[in-house]
C-alpha cells in the first residue's frame, strides 16, 4: 500500500514572515496557531515549519544554537505544543526543519570545539593552513572552496591558528559526521521531537553530511580565484550509510514518518537511490535542477537567463520518468530560498497575475509526487519589488552583493539580478488583508510589506471564487479525490513547444490530459498532436472554455472519454 504522504499536499511556513502575534514585527508560533483555519480551508495535509529553534538568526534560524528549544522570538515549547495540537485536531501533521549539516558557531558544541583539547574539537572540521603558507594569510586556507554564500568556505581562528569549514556562512560551521557521537546526538534529538508529536522532518542540505576525504582543491570557477563547484562536496561516500542509519535509529520508515531531504546538485538517478522504499532512507528529495533552468552557463543563480520552456519541461519529465517505478518526487516551484514563481515563470502584471499563478499551479499539481505550497503562493504573491540594496536583509544576497562589487561587477546589473532572484522575494510578510501592514503585524515588519497587498491578500482571495486561492483549493481537492492524480503514469506531450506545457496521466483506462498555456498570448491547441478531446470533460480550468484555443495563461485538466 502507498504510504500516506503519497496522497499529501504540504504547506511550507517561514515563521518569521507568516504572522506576528505580539507586535515586534517578526512572525511567531502563536501567529501561526491563529491562522490554522486558513490552512484547513486550503485543504493541505502537512505543514513544514522552517526552523524555530534557538538561533542567533544569522541565517534566520538555519544556524541553530539549541536543537531542543524554541527561540524566544518565535515563542516557547508550550506554543509549539499548541501548534502540534491545533494541527492534529484539524487532521494535519507537522514536519520540522532539521538542520544538521552545520550548527551555529554559538552552539555550545562549537564553542567547546574551539578548544583543541576538548573532545568536541573533532565534532567539526578543523584543519591546519595549507602547507608552506603562513596561517591566516591570503591563500592559506586548507582548500580553495568557496562557500555557498560567497567568499572562502574556511574561517581562520587566530586562537588556535587553524581553520574551520563552513559551507554556508562563517556562523554556520560544518559538523563532522564521521564522528559517531555527532550522529548519535542528532538521532537522539530527532527521537525527542518525534516523542513530542512531530510527524517528520525536512532535512536541510542533507547530501552534504558525508564529505569526501581528504578534502582537496577543486577547479577554480569564481572571479575571486575560488572553487564554487558543489560537486566536490555533495553525495559523499557514506551518504547512503548515514541516511540508512538515521532512518533506522529514528524509526522513520518503521513509524511511517514524513521525510524529505534537500539535496544540492542531486540528479534523478541519485534521487531514486535515496527514495526507493527498499533503501529505507528518505521519502523524497528536493532537487534544484528545475530551479536552475533559468541560470546561464556558469550555473550560478545570479547569472539569469530567460526561461526556455522546453528545458523546464524536459527536466521535470526526466524526474517524472526517473522516479515512476521506484522512488517518489517532491513537486515545488517556490520555497523560502526561491523568488516568487508568478514573477519568475508567470506574468505578474495586473492583466495576467491571477491566470498565470493558477496555470503554474495546475501544471505543478497534476504531476506525480507530493506538491508543496509555499506561504503566499496560494494567493499569487509576487516578488518584493525592492530597488535599493538597503531594503534587503538576506545574508546570501548581501554577501553576494559585497563580493561581486569588490570583484568589479556593474552595480545596476547586480541590482537587476538580485531583484529577480533574491531569497527576500519569498520572505516579505504574508499578505492577510488590505490594511497598512497587510494584517501581518501591528508593529514595524522586519521586511517591507509588498505594496500590492491592497489587492493581493488572503481576505480578498477567500471572498473571490475566481481567486488563485480557490484554484489551489480545487487542485488539492482533485488530488485527494482521484487516484489517477496520485498514482497515474506520466507522459510528456509536445516537448518542443515553447508555449504549451501538456502532459497526460494514465491509470488503467482513466486518462487525464493537462494543457497549459505558459505565455501571455493565446495559443491554438494542436489537435493532431494531442489525444482526442471528443467527449472529454473539463475537470478544472482557469477560464470559461470557449474554443479550442487556449487564452493567455489558460490551463485545463481534461478527463478523456
Positions annotated as catalytic residues are 204, 262
- Measured from the CB atom, is 105 or 337 closer to ligand TEU? 337
Per CB under 6 A, the list member of 156, 164, 168, 490 interacting with ligand TEU is 168
Provide the minimum distance between the beta carbon of 54 and ligand TEU in the complex, in angstroms, as a whole number. Answer: 15
| Cα 309 to the center of its chain, rounded Å | 21
Our finding on whether 205 is near ligand TEU (CB under 6 A) is yes
Compute the CA torsion angle 284, 272, 308, 343 (nearest 10 deg): 10
Find all residues with CB under 8 Å of 474, minimum gap 6, and list them.
540
Q: Report the C-alpha gap between 54 and 43 in whole angstroms.
A: 30
Per CB under 6 A, the list member of 20, 28, 45, 59 interacting with ligand TEU is 59
- Measured from the CB atom, is 47 or 516 closer to ligand TEU? 47
The per-residue b/e assignment along 251-280, b for 16 or more CB within 10 angstroms, e otherwise, is: ebbeeebbbbbbbbbbebebbbbbbbeebe
Provide the minimum distance between the beta carbon of 51 and ligand TEU in the complex, in angstroms, as a whole number. Answer: 9
Residues 10, 370: contact at Cβ < 8 Å? yes
Query: Sign (positive/negative) of CA torsion 431, 433, 437, 439?
Result: negative
State the pairing for strand pair 510-517/523-524: unpaired
Provide the minimum distance between the beta carbon of 445 and ligand TEU in the complex, in angstroms, as a whole number. Answer: 19
Give the bridge partners for 161, in sequence order: none
- Measured from the CB atom, is 169 or 359 closer to ligand TEU? 169
Provide the minimum distance between the beta carbon of 279 and ligand TEU in the complex, in angstroms, as a whole number. Answer: 23
Provide the minimum distance between the beta carbon of 513 and ligand TEU in the complex, in angstroms, as a whole number. Answer: 34
Find all residues with CB under 8 Å of 94, minimum gap 6, and list them.
46, 47, 49, 83, 84, 87, 88, 197, 198, 199
Provide the minimum distance between the beta carbon of 292 and ligand TEU in the complex, in angstroms, as a whole number. Answer: 10
Our finding on whether 348 is near ligand TEU (CB under 6 A) is no
Closest CA to 350 of 382, 374, 376: 382
Number of residues in contact with ligand TEU under rule CB under 6 A? 14
Our finding on whether 62 is near ligand TEU (CB under 6 A) is yes
Rounded to the nearest 10 degrees, the angle between the axes of helix 180-196 and helix 239-250 is 40
- Measured from the CB atom, is 130 or 423 closer to ligand TEU? 423
Our finding on whether 294 is near ligand TEU (CB under 6 A) is no
Q: Report the C-alpha gap between 18 and 379 in whole angstroms.
A: 13
Report 29-58 residues binding ligand TEU (CB under 6 A): none
Report 311-340 residues binding ligand TEU (CB under 6 A): 336-337
Site pattern 263..282 for ligand TEU (x: CB under 6 A): -x------------------
Site pattern 478..517 for ligand TEU (x: CB under 6 A): ----------------------------------------
Query: What are 339's three cell numbers?
Result: 523568488
Per CB under 6 A, the list member of 114, 301, 453, 479 interacting with ligand TEU is 301
Report 517-536 residues binding ligand TEU (CB under 6 A): none
- Measured from the CB atom, is 321 or 420 closer to ligand TEU? 420
Provide the minimum distance between the beta carbon of 468 and ligand TEU in the complex, in angstroms, as a whole number. Answer: 24
Our finding on whether 553 is near ligand TEU (CB under 6 A) is no
Closest CA to 260 of 186, 345, 329: 329
Our finding on whether 28 is near ligand TEU (CB under 6 A) is no
- Measured from the CB atom, is 38 or 301 closer to ligand TEU? 301
Instruction: Tell me the CB-side half-sphere exposure of residue 131, using CA atoms within 13 A.
Output: 2
Residues 167, 102: contact at Cβ < 8 Å? yes
Our finding on whether 396 is near ligand TEU (CB under 6 A) is yes
Q: Report the C-alpha gap between 130 and 140 in whole angstroms.
A: 5
Give the bridge partners for 156, in sequence order: 163
Q: Report the C-alpha gap between 63 and 406 in whole angstroms.
A: 26
- Measured from the CB atom, is 58 or 554 closer to ligand TEU? 58
Provide the minimum distance between the beta carbon of 228 and ligand TEU in the complex, in angstroms, as a whole number. Answer: 11
Question: Which residues contact ligand TEU (rule: CB under 6 A)?
Answer: 59, 62, 99, 148, 168, 204-205, 262, 264, 301, 336-337, 396, 423
Amino acid at each position: 500500500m502507498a504510504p500516506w504522504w503519497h496522497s499529501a499536499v504540504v504547506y511550507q511556513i517561514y515563521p518569521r514572515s507568516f504572522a506576528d502575534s505580539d507586535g515586534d514585527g517578526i512572525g511567531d508560533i502563536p501567529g501561526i496557531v491563529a491562522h490554522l483555519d486558513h490552512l484547513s480551508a486550503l485543504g493541505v495535509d502537512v505543514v513544514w515549519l522552517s526552523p524555530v529553534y534557538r538561533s542567533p538568526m544569522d541565517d534566520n534560524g538555519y544556524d541553530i544554537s539549541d536543537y531542543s528549544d524554541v527561540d524566544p522570538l518565535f515563542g516557547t515549547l508550550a506554543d509549539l505544543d499548541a501548534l502540534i495540537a491545533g494541527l492534529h485536531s484539524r487532521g494535519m501533521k507537522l514536519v520540522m526543519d532539521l538542520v544538521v549539516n552545520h550548527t551555529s558557531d554559538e552552539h555550545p558544541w562549537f564553542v567547546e570545539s574551539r578548544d583543541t583539547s576538548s573532545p568536541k574539537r573533532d565534532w567539526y572540521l578543523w584543519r591546519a593552513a595549507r602547507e608552506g603558507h603562513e596561517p591566516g594569510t591570503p591563500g592559506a586556507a586548507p582548500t580553495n572552496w568557496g562557500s555557498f554564500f560567497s567568499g572562502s568556505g574556511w574561517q581562520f581562528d587566530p586562537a588556535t591558528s587553524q581553520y574551520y569549514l563552513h559551507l554556508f556562512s562563517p556562523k554556520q560551521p560544518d559538523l563532522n559526521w564521521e564522528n559517531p557521537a555527532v550522529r548519535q546526538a542528532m538521532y537522539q534529538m530527532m527521537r525527542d521531537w518525534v516523542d513530542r508529536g512531530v510527524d517528520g522532518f525536512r532535512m536541510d542540505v542533507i547530501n552534504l553530511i558525508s564529505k569526501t576525504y581528504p578534502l582537496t582543491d577543486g577547479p577554480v570557477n569564481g572571479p575571486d580565484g575560488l572553487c564554487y563547484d558543489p560537486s566536490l562536496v555533495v553525495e559523499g561516500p557514506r551518504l547512503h550509510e548515514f541516511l540508512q542509519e538515521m532512518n533506522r535509529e529514528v524509526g522513520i520508515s518503521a513509524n511511517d514518518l514524513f521525510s524529505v531531504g534537500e539535496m544540492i546538485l542531486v540528479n534523478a538517478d541519485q534521487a531514486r537511490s535515496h527514495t526507493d522504499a527498499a533503501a529505507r532512507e528518505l521519502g523524497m528529495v528536493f532537487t534544484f535542477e528545475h530551479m536552475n533552468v533559468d541560470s546561464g552557463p556558469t550555473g550560478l543563480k545570479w547569472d539569469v537567463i530567460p526561461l526556455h520552456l522546453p528545458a523546464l519541461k524536459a527536466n521535470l519529465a526526466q524526474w517524472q520518468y526517473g522516479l515512476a517505478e521506484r522512488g517518489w518526487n517532491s513537486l515545488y516551484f517556490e520555497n523560502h530560498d526561491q523568488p516568487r514563481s508568478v514573477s519568475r515563470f508567470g506574468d505578474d502584471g495586473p492583466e495576467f497575475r491571477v491566470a498565470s499563478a493558477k496555470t503554474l499551479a495546475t501544471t505543478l499539481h497534476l504531476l506525480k509526487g507530493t506538491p508543496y505550497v509555499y506561504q503566499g503562493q496560494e494567493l499569487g504573491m509576487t516578488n518584493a519589488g525592492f530597488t535599493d540594496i538597503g531594503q534587503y536583509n538576506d545574508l546570501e544576497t548581501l554577501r553576494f552583493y559585497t563580493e561581486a562589487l569588490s570583484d568589479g561587477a556593474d552595480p545596476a546589473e547586480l541590482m537587476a539580478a538580485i531583484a529577480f532572484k533574491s531569497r527576500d522575494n519569498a520572505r516579505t510578510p504574508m499578505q492577510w488583508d488590505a490594511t497598512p501592514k497587510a494584517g501581518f503585524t501591528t508593529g514595524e515588519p522586519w521586511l517591507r510589506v509588498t505594496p500590492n497587498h491592497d489587492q493581493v491578500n488572503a481576505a480578498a482571495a477567500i471572498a473571490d471564487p475566481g481567486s488563485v486561492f480557490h484554484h489551489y483549493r480545487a487542485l488539492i481537492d482533485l488530488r485527494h479525490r482521484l487516484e489517477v492524480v496520485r498514482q497515474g503514469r506520466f507522459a510528456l506531450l509536445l516537448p518542443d513547444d515553447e508555449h504549451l506545457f501538456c502532459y497526460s496521466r494514465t491509470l488503467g483506462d482513466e486518462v487525464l490530459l493537462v494543457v497549459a498555456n505558459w505565455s501571455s498570448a493565446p495559443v491554438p491547441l494542436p489537435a493532431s498532436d494531442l489525444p482526442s478531446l471528443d467527449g472529454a470533460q473539463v475537470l478544472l480550468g482557469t477560464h470559461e472554455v470557449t474554443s479550442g484555443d487556449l487564452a493567455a495563461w489558460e490551463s485545463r485538466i481534461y478527463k478523456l472519454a
